[in-house]
Amino acid sequence: MDLKNKTALITGGGTGVGRAITLMLAKLGASVAVNYSKSQRDAEATVADAKQLGVRALAVQADVADDAQVQPMVDRVKQELGTVDILINNAAFTRFTDHADLYALSQQDWNRTFSVNVNGTFFCCRAVAPMMKARGWGRIVNISSVAAFTGKGSSIAYAASKAAIISITKSLSRVLGPEVTVNAIAPGLIDTRWIADHPKLEEMRESYLKETVLGRVLKPEDIAEVAISLITSLNLVTGQTIVVDAGRTL
| Catalytic positions, written as ranges | 158
Radius of gyration of the chain (CA): 17
**Nearest residue to 17 (alpha-carbon basis) of 188, 206, 149, 216:** 188
Show the CA angle centred on residue 114, arms to residues 109 and 117, nearest 5°.
115
Show the CA angle centred on residue 236, arms to residues 230 and 242, nearest 5°.
45
Report the b/e string of 137-160 with b at 16+ CB within 10 A: ebbbbbbbbbbbbeeebbbbbbbb
Residue count (the chain):
250
DSSP H helices in the chain = 16-27, 40-52, 67-80, 107-114, 120-135, 147-150, 156-176, 201-211, 220-232
d(CA 15, CA 34): 10
**Nearest residue to 145 (alpha-carbon basis) of 157, 162, 164, 160:** 162
DSSP 11-72: TTTTSHHHHHHHHHHHHTT-EEEEEESS-HHHHHHHHHHHHHTT--EEEEE--TT-HHHHHH
